């Protein structure tokens, strides 16, 4: 990317990274690390034409091991939750 003079890097973080969540310290700290790494690399690579962004996915309604997610009823800031088939080109 540096040789080409441009590039895009997207990392996946979490909305739980900054406020944390009960019994999820390991997850919150790992995702906060992703955000910190993304911000640091964005500053380091800005002059090379490489842009970085971190995306915190929204709440998803899903089944996991036959159990409904505890967060299935929660919604994002826009009042919606994600569901299979609503992300990308999921034909």
Catalytic residues: 27
Tokens found for residue 32:
């906060």
3-class state of residue 80 by DSSP: coil
First to last CA, the chain: 31
DSSP 26-68: HHHHHHHHHHHHHHHHHHHHGGGTEEEEEE----B--EETTEE
């Amino acid at each position: 990317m540096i040789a080409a003079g441009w590039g895009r890097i997207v990392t996946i973080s979490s909305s739980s990274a900054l406020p944390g969540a009960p019994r999820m310290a390991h997850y919150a700290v790992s995702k906060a690390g992703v955000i910190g790494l993304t911000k640091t690399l964005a500053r380091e690579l800005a002059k090379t034409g490489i842009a970085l962004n971190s995306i915190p996915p929204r709440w998803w309604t899903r089944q996991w091991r036959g159990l409904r997610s505890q967060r299935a009823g929660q919604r994002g800031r826009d009042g919606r939750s994600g569901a299979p088939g609503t992300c990308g080109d999921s034909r």
